[in-house]
A and B are shown apart, each in its own frame.
Chain A
Amino acid sequence: MEIRFTLNGKPTAVDVPPDITLLRLLRDYLDMTGTKCGCEIGECGACSVILDGEVVNSCLVLAPQVEGRRVVTIEGIRGPDGGPNDLQEAFIEAGAIQCGFCTPGMVVAATVLLRKHGYPTREQIIEGISGNLCRCTGYQQIVEAIQMTVLRRGGLPEKEEHA
């Protein structure tokens, strides 16, 4: 069946079987491989995309469900010059990236987190990325990258809570 939707701001039409997921549609039919496949049961978050402004696991969304809707993938998250945006820069600078397999999903989750909260607290950041598994980093440098972005966007430095 043909599915029409907006992908990274561009009207897109693709002919796919009706029983595939959005993840398969992106990776297998559009060769947009920035969205990763980690578990296919909605647990790891590597396949996170933005659907009408909300983070979703694209492995849990059936392709026909995106008909007429807006999807943003990692390929649609860029700075004004087409390079990394400030959040992505912060990921590099803070050491938030190791193997990089969770990174697109993390950037997607953090993008929505920052859009929703503006200046999220450390707790909100942790909650916002807790649906995304990372086996390499231990998360601390990812949290720091997001905090760095918050600061640079004008948020106030949050008082660190040490026990």
Chain B
Amino acid sequence: MSELKSLGKPTRRVDALEKVLGTGRYTHDLKIPGMLVAKVLRSPVPHAEIVKLDVTPALKVPGVVAAITSEDFVDHGNWGFPVKDDYMLAYKKVRYVGDPIAAVAAETEEAAEAGLQAIVLELKELPAVFDVHEALKPDAPILHEELAKAQAEETTSGELEDAEFIEVHGKGNLSETLIVRQGDPLSKLSECDVVLDAAYSVAHQEHAYLETEAALAVPTADGGVTVFVGDQNPFITLSNLVMTLGMPGKVRVVQSPHTGGAFGGKSDMVYETAAQAAMLAIKSGRPVKLVTSREESMIASYKRDAMEMRYRLGATKDGRLRAAKIECWADSGAYASMTPFTSWRATIHAMGPYHYEDCHVDMMCVYTNNGYSGAFRGFGNTEVTAASEQAIDELAEMCGMDPMDFRLKNCVELGDTLPFGQKLEYSVGLKQCLERVRKISDWDRKRAEYSRQPAHQEIRRGIGVASFFHGLSLGAEGLDFAEHTIRLGEGNKFEILTGLSDFGQGSRTVFSLIASEVLGFPVERFQWLPCDTDVVQECGPTVASRSTILGGNATRLAAMRLLTQLYDAAAMMMGCMVPEVRQEGEVFYGPAGQRVTLDELIAYARANHIPLSAKARWEMPRIHWSFAKGRGVPYVAYHFGAQVAEVEVDRRTGVTKVLNIYAVHDVGKVVFPQGIRGQIIGGISQGLGYALMERVEFEKGYIQNPNFDTYLIPTAADMPVVTVEFVESELPFGPFGAKNVAEPSMVPTAPAILNAIYHATGRRIRHLPANLERVLLGYDLKDTVTTTVCQVGVCERAKCEL
């Protein structure tokens, strides 16, 4: 590859200036004349039948202009993907504390609040279930009776063509089962010299994006509605709006210029917020703004699923992995949301990037009345890697091996086959990541030194490692494409049109850099625009760390086509043939010494009606995974990486201070250095929170910590010094070789820290988070005492007939 001019060079974030000046607008900041304020009535109980719901008294409250329930939506606002089990406002039943029931729009916040108070709501509370194992018992209360009935009919009809191994469809509260199958690990385990059998668990994690969910809906002249939001896919918001509002062709979704973080969290809950605001705008004929409070957001929004995992791993005594039998239960909560997909990704990654002869993974997605779970950075892989990388460490110790050596001995390399039948054909830099992180962390010296700390020493240090892989983009989940347009805009800048959102990760800058590289113009020549469904093409969701690969390739192809147009125009302008045109940056030359600047060329194109606008679509290579057989090709390729954590634990208090984290990631190619470093360090901060402090405390379905005073996330004082390096094993079809980075950055952090704590203290903490009690006592006080259920936050007034 020839020398790169723009990629990998120090560059500023293209949308940073207005953020640092405070002039950039977020959905929270939008305001238009005549705007009403909306508020939502939410369920005060975890599981109940709606006996009576009457919003007409709310309309009599001064200032209240509109009030809605599920009756106002098409098909009661039923929606959900991949399982259509949710409602824009609850229909017949509520299934978690915070489930939206009704919404009002009013002139002021006070009037809206009074409107909610006036709504007549009678609930008949139903038995609820808060534990995945309890939920699977035959006598457990069923959350989705109709779905369960339909599933029962479906499975008895015997039409599942591919179901020779397992019925993938659920029964009762089991929404889905996902599997990986190779050989017979249980018999293999009985032949292994060394066998580990251990249970691990991870807790619900809150996204804690600093901007809570919000939407501004504005009625349009044609009787439709335009909705301004900050979400992860304006086209999914759009299709859900069209489906539930029932006005095809009259709905438009526009993303606000900026969105205050997402991390997987700005999907389902934002679709509901958008639909509620839109329906209120249609009913009232006025613009309606709906902003959730922090408590409301934390109670009502989906979380990273809690997961229970049992790992049985077997190896030879000299440390060669042979078999893995892994069983997991994911707490889906009240709705499926993304849990079937996060759980699928979890099954694929549950055994880690290692060789096994035989491997089975079974993942059960289970409905409970604990809020609901969905997408969050890492998307299932963060959960299983927290367990698998501890299990690997435990097995290494049983074999008497250094954890780094054990991983190097078993890790996959180019040409190897993963334990579901996929041959690794591209870009496998795991070994290099491990070797490099070993060196930069000074692993061998520190590991030996900390292993020699005297037993009586109270303040102890430890060092731990975790390695991992993470499949690119959506994989076999579905069609995977992006379509971008680069067109001439105001001020002779080229606008990059994309349906992929930038809520801070830096994709606008990545696309500008790629366009700059292809066209040879400086980054400043390009202009970003917020996604608008009337303007841009559908690009699929901004999830799965897919923007750089999908959007990057679409940008690259569109830029190449635009370059062709520019050369055509330049040849015409200079009166020569296209192959005679030469370009240096923003200047084009002809064979006879002609010289035309880009601005002159643009002026010529405008005057002669030559369009300068090119679009291009890029699609991932198609692959197939058999969900019924648990084999196939789940992702075309993978990100690989390893992180080392160094901790200091005070054994008298349980305080764990993370001193250093060394992160080496195989990203294919660094496109935007400042951005990619930010992704890694930011991901590590979320992984550190996951390891040490973050847990949404559900107490009989009620969240006990709904704001930042009780749900703690890392502050500047909690962060270690992070050292980041990259391995660039170029992906042949990545844009300039680039792979994914956003999600993978946090995946190995928690197990690296947990392994370091074990090294420091000799106490293995298999249940996250490793809070003070668990580090100090070895168990959580919460598990040993009965706490009183505190019904926090949600509409304490609700007229429940309990």
Contact = CB atoms under 8 A, between A and B. Distances in A.
B22 A99 contact: no
A144 to B, nearest CB: 10
Interface in B458-502: none
A50 B20 CA distance: 16
A84 B19 contact: no
A38 B261 CA distance: 12
B221 interface: no
A127 B659 CA distance: 16
B258 A99 contact: yes
Given A43-B707, A93-B12, A162-B660, 10 more contacts: A73-B22, A88-B21, A99-B209, A99-B258, A99-B262, A103-B22, A137-B681, A138-B719, A140-B681, A162-B721
Given A130-B716, A133-B713, A39 B294 contact: yes
B504 interface: yes
Nearest to A139: B716
B708 interface: yes
A104 B31 CA distance: 20
A28 B16 CA distance: 25
A125 B506 CA distance: 26
A27 B291 CA distance: 14
Contact of A101 (B26, B294, B646, B715): B26
A163 B294 CA distance: 37
A46 interface: yes
Nearest to A137: B682
Contact of A139 (B258, B261, B719): B719
A133 B16 contact: no
A103 B717 contact: no
Interface string A83-108: 11000100111110111111110010
Interface in B239-263: 258-263
Contacts of A78: 21
Interface in A21-54: 27, 31, 33-41, 43-44, 46
Contacts of B709: 41, 43
B716 A44 contact: no
A136 B682 contact: yes
A103 B23 CA distance: 11
B684 interface: yes
B210 A38 contact: yes
A101 B230 CA distance: 12
A4 B658 CA distance: 47
B24 interface: yes
20 contacts: A33-B28, A34-B21, A40-B294, A44-B708, A91-B20, A92-B13, A92-B17, A95-B674, A97-B16, A99-B259, A100-B504, A107-B20, A125-B716, A132-B716, A135-B682, A135-B685, A136-B682, A141-B677, A160-B721, A163-B646
Interface string B499-542: 00001111000000000000000000000000000000000000
A74 interface: yes
A163 B29 CA distance: 43
Contacts of A40: 293-294
Contacts of B29: 27, 33
Q: Which of A33, A95, A126, A132 has the most B CB atoms < 10 Å from its CB?
A: A95
A143 B715 CA distance: 12
A56 interface: no
A129 B716 contact: yes
Contacts of B186: none
B707 A92 contact: no
A105 to B, nearest CB: 9
Interface in B260-279: 260-263
A97 B22 CA distance: 12
A36 B13 contact: no
Interface residues of A, number: 57
A34 B22 contact: yes
Contact of B722 (A77, A130, A138): A138
Contact of B22 (A75, A95, A143): A75
A142 interface: yes
Nearest to B110: A17
A138 B707 contact: no
A130 B715 contact: yes
Given A101-B211, A103-B20, A138-B719, A41 B707 contact: yes
A-B pairs, top 8 by smallest CB distance, nearest first, are A34-B22, A99-B504, A100-B19, A101-B260, A74-B22, A138-B685, A95-B674, A138-B681
B719 to A, nearest CB: 5
Nearest to A87: B20
A93 B505 CA distance: 16
B460 to A, nearest CB: 13
A138 B684 contact: yes
A83 B212 CA distance: 29
Contact of B708 (A43, A126, A134): A43
Contact of A41 (B12, B294, B684): B294
B25 interface: yes
Q: Which of B13, B16, B207, B660 has the most A CB atoms < 10 Å from its CB?
A: B16
B285 interface: no
B675 interface: yes
A137 B683 CA distance: 8
Interface in B293-319: 293-294
A97 B20 contact: yes
A88 B19 CA distance: 10
B771 interface: no
Nearest to A39: B294
B505 A39 contact: no
Contacts of A138: 678, 681-685, 714, 719, 722
Interface string B679-694: 0011111100000000
Interface in B192-229: 207-212
B20 A88 contact: yes
B318 to A, nearest CB: 34
Contact of A84 (B21, B293, B685): B21
B38 to A, nearest CB: 15
B531 to A, nearest CB: 16
A92 B11 CA distance: 10
Contacts of A139: 681, 685, 714-716, 719
Given A91-B16, A141-B678, A99 B708 contact: no
A91 B17 CA distance: 9
A136 B19 CA distance: 14
A39 B716 contact: no
Contacts of A94: 674
A37 B23 CA distance: 15
A156 to B, nearest CB: 20
A128 to B, nearest CB: 9
A98 B721 CA distance: 19
Contacts of B714: 138-139
Contacts of A91: 16, 20
B741 to A, nearest CB: 13
A123 B347 CA distance: 42
A95 B13 contact: yes
B450 to A, nearest CB: 11
A27 B685 CA distance: 30
Nearest to A35: B22
Q: Which of A43, A100, A139 has the most B CB atoms < 10 Å from its CB?
A: A100
Nearest to B657: A163
Contact of B211 (A36, A77, A92, A95): A36
Q: Which of B31, B208, B211 has the most A CB atoms < 10 Å from its CB?
A: B211
Nearest to A33: B29
A112 to B, nearest CB: 15
Contact of B686 (A100, A102, A135, A140): A135
A126 B717 contact: yes
Nearest to A102: B210
Contact of B681 (A39, A75, A141, A163): A141
Nearest to A38: B210
Contacts of A75: 21-23
Contacts of B16: 91-92, 97, 100
A135 B210 contact: yes
Contacts of B674: 94-95, 141
